[in-house]
Structure formats: structure tokens, C-alpha cells
Amino acid sequence: MALTAPNGHALGECGALGGLQAEHFGDVDEMTLRPDEDLGLLGEGQFYGVGVDTGTAAFMDATRTVIEDQLDEVLFIPLDSRFSVELPSTESEPNLIAFRAGQGDGSYPVWIGRTDDGQVVCVVVDFQLHSADGEA
């Protein structure tokens, strides 16, 4: 299945993402926005995005706590040899998945896919590795 964001960026080919089969992705066509962000204020080619620092991004619930003194050992050192690292959930906290950003530090648009009844079924960070015409 090819995922393409409305801005024309090819998001990649995938058969499964996060354990969900491709047919359950829904349409990945909605830019993720914070409450104070307005798509109507954006010009052509502009986006609201997730800020990336240290070349690393993460998916995590706002309730997840992170002990900064342990980040090197549990996230950054393992990311030297892998694309992603998961910190498993505990009884009181959800999991955290950290991954290397495509082009390193910067800002990247985030898209969500919903089912026909509005359930969010996937989240895609567009690291802008390919242009709208598919060129790297």
C-alpha cells in the first residue's frame, strides 16, 4: 500500500504498520494539529510539524514519565545501532517508541489515518526523504 500525504510527499510503501494491516489504516490525509494551530494560516508547502532535536523523535502518551538521566542508556545508545527503540509499558504507564529522524534535527509534518467511523488507526511522521515526484 502506498501512503501519500495531501502535500504530495510519498510516505512510503508498507503492508503493516504498528501491527495493523494496511487495509485498516484508513486514509492518511489529516495533518495533526495542536489546538492553537489553524491550517487556514498556512501557505503553499507550509506545515505544522513535530520538532526534532538530537535527531530523535518519539511517540508517547503525555502521561509517560521519562527519567532524563537514563536517556543515554535506554534510548540514545541503542539508537546508534537500531532505527527504533521501545520502552515497554508498565502497569502504570504506556509504552514509548523512539526513532531516528530521517534528516536529523528540524520540523516534520505528522499525519493521522482514521477509519470510516473516525477512529485514529495510524500516525505517520513525514521525514521528507522523498519529494512529491518520488525523487530522493
Q: Based on the structure, what is the number of domains in the chain?
A: 1
Please write the tens of the pLDDT for every residue from 16-33. Answer: 334 444 455 556 778 888
Distance CA 110, CA 108 (A): 7
Residue 135 within any structural domain of the chain: no
Print burial letters for 98-113: b (CB count within 10 Å at least 16), e (below 16). bbbbbeeeeebbbbbb
Residue 22 within any structural domain of the chain: yes
> Residue 134: is its pLDDT beyond 70?
no
- The parent domain of residue 47 ranges over 2-125
pLDDT tier at 38, thresholds 50, 70, 90: very high
pLDDT tier at 41, thresholds 50, 70, 90: very high
Residue 79 near residue 92 (C-beta atoms within 8 A): no
Residue 55 within any structural domain of the chain: yes
Residue 136 within any structural domain of the chain: no
Q: pTM here?
A: 0.66
| pLDDT score at 39 | 92
Residue 134 within any structural domain of the chain: no
Please write the tens of the pLDDT for every residue from 56-80. Answer: 888 888 888 888 898 899 988 998 9
pLDDT, greater one: 74 or 2: 74
Query: Dihedral (C-alpha) 74, 79, 84, 88: value to the nearest 10 degrees?
Result: -10
> Residue 107: is its pLDDT beyond 80?
yes
Residue 73 within any structural domain of the chain: yes
Residue 75 within any structural domain of the chain: yes
| Residue among 1, 3, 5, 2 nearest 111 (CA) | 5
pLDDT tier at 36, thresholds 50, 70, 90: very high
